[in-house]
A and B are shown apart, each in its own frame.
Chain A
Amino acid sequence: MKRVGATQEVSGQSPNYLLSKFQHLVDWAVNASRANSLWPMPFGTACCAIEFMATAASRYDFARFGMERQAFSPRQADVLICAGRLPFKLAPVIRRIYDQMPQPKWVISMGACASTGGIFDNYAMVQGIDTIVPVDVYVPGCPPRPEGLLYGVLLLHKKIKGESLFDAVRRRDEQPLDDKGLRLPPETIDELSEPFGNSVHQFRSA
């Protein structure tokens, strides 16, 4: 397993050959076991949830990739898959569910609406769940095909396998909400939520 070469001295990494080999082995074992048995928490809201269910059904079975048991309780889940659009009314719910998940945890944002708000650029929709929870993998599509979701899961596997127990920089952090109740500074949220592309031309004709 090739590791990305570090170009700077990072704390926690020992220059000793045997120790680093040991860390490498431990990381490989831990990451492989985490990646190959990710238990998803399906936070399915809308149409993507149906494609998620189709991915779980017989034809595209994602139990082959380790997601055998769908954990409906966040306390027992590894990865939160937000499948579907997220209105503002549901925002505190997903934040609370994310907070309830124990570490290590990852988030897959499935579909265009979860990633950026999708076609719903209006008063009711959160413009991307990354304004609320930190996201690891974005799966585009409306809805993404089951193969697309599986590709996203495999990307997450790759990401997990690149993590390290011993390197604080590469470990996931909790990213809690700040004192105003936001995860990102307000300017960043506004910038992420700005309309782009065709949605700015809605008032073009009569």
Chain B
Amino acid sequence: MSKRTLELALATPGVDAEGRPARIPLTTPPGAGEEREPDVSGEHLLVNIGPQHPATHGVLRLVVELDGETVVRCIPHLGYLHSGFEKLGEYRHYNQIIPLTDRTDYLSPMANNVGMAMAAETLMGIEITPRCTVLRVIACEMSRIISHMVWLGTTSIDLGAFTPFLWAFQERERIYDLQEMWTGARLTTSLTRVGGLMADIPDRFVEQLRHFTRTFPKTLAEIDRVLTRNAVWVGRTQGVGVLSAAEAINQSLSGPMLRASGVAYDVRKDKPYLDYETYDFEVPVGEHGDVYDRYLVRLEECHQANRILEQALDRLPDGPINVDDPRVILPSKTRAMSDMEAMIFHFKQVMEGVKAPVGEAYVGIENPKGELGNYFVSDGTAKPVRWRIRPPSFINLSALPKMAEGHLLSDLIAINASVDIVMGEVDR
């Protein structure tokens, strides 16, 4: 039990010696007369936070039972952004599902695209080209940076610091420029296709990204200087929302939430994909499992992502980005218009889609939020029988009630921010 909850246990009448809240009924017992006035000193207050609320990071509704200012119980209600993605996926070809993946975790769309394409390629048994592999690593790490920048910006706003939000969003704009240069869209990138990518990087991309990797650490250092040893920040985040390693594993957490609690599990290191084992990077692991550790882990992950980007740019090989299989990748327009066979392949792919063999495949990647998994079950047709997104934010959020008990209401906001949820993925 943290120092904070011990203080509360000693000071607060509604909490017993172990720090567990005493259950007090909501209404006065019958026979207490006609009094409908709530007795403030002895009762718990039920407060509804959200679904429309600036600090809930999307449409999350928290029903909080409060004893004074202390959270006795916190019950999250989800589903306010449920969009039926998995149902829609059953009516779409594999390549038509890729735009849907942009919209689940819209803070790091390229990573979602990559994850889904990898799952479809594993299902179909396709191996991508070396250039495509490196470009996908670049896409994933860029997504990691923008996702953590949103997290940093919004968390600091929740805790009162407004300026890091603007700095973080300025860095995001620079990555958005790169994304727009590559895919044409700032946010809904739809980068990958089954077997490759939608387009190769344009000419100025490499030098602009290199310029970014050179200047990005300066912004991180500025944010670090403002927040990391700031008394207010430290006071509000240390010891808050502690989750032990065993609890984190039992609750199926993943990503920075799991690593901040001391479990050194990163999908890139433990089940490497896209040649991640050949890159030289470290995975930060926390000790205490509180909000401060999660902040440190994510900040360091930005540094490491920067490092990976530099290495990836150095080793970017030439070559085609798409696999050379006309049944999977659309042939080039000139060939499709001149060569009969290419035209037939084009026709079959557009009209019927790419047929996947019977079977199933699950591929998990290290999304900025955690382990994003895509599970496809196919019955031999071009549309999956079942498309399941293993949503890291959904599962990370299920630990919120446990983390929030015994803390103050303002700590609840800090804890909610530290889970780094994106409601599009939580509700799908």
Contacts and interface: CB of A to CB of B under 8 A. Distances in A.
Contacts of A58: 166, 169-170, 173
A85 B170 contact: no
Interface in A58-115: 58-59, 70, 72, 84-85, 87, 89-90, 93-94, 97
A18 interface: no
Interface string A189-204: 0000000000000111
Given A45-B423, A47-B424, A120-B88, A85 B51 contact: no
Interface stretch (B79-87, B192-200, B266-274): B79-87
A156 interface: no
Interface in A109-131: 119-120, 122-125
Given A43-B52, A49-B58, A57-B166, A120 B381 contact: no
Interface string B69-81: 0000000000111
A143 interface: yes
A206 interface: yes
B99 interface: yes
A124 B320 CA distance: 41
B188 A47 contact: yes
Is the interface on chain B under 10, 10 to 19, 20 to 34, or 35 or more residues?
35 or more
A38 to B, nearest CB: 18
B383 interface: yes
Nearest to B109: A47
Contact of A97 (B52, B79, B166): B52
A206 B169 CA distance: 44
Given A119-B99, A145-B186, A206-B383, A87 B83 contact: yes
Given A90-B51, A125-B83, A54 B172 contact: yes
A122 B187 contact: no
B176 interface: yes
Interface of B: 51-54, 58-59, 79-84, 87-88, 91-93, 99-100, 102-103, 106-107, 150, 165-166, 169-170, 172-173, 176, 186-188, 351-353, 355, 381-383, 423-424, 427
Interface of A: 43-47, 49-51, 53-54, 57-59, 70, 72, 84-85, 87, 89-90, 93-94, 97, 119-120, 122-125, 142-143, 145, 202-206
When A and B form their complex, which 10 residue pairs have the shortest distance between CB atoms, in order from nearest? A47-B106, A57-B169, A122-B84, A124-B84, A72-B54, A206-B381, A205-B352, A90-B80, A202-B91, A59-B173
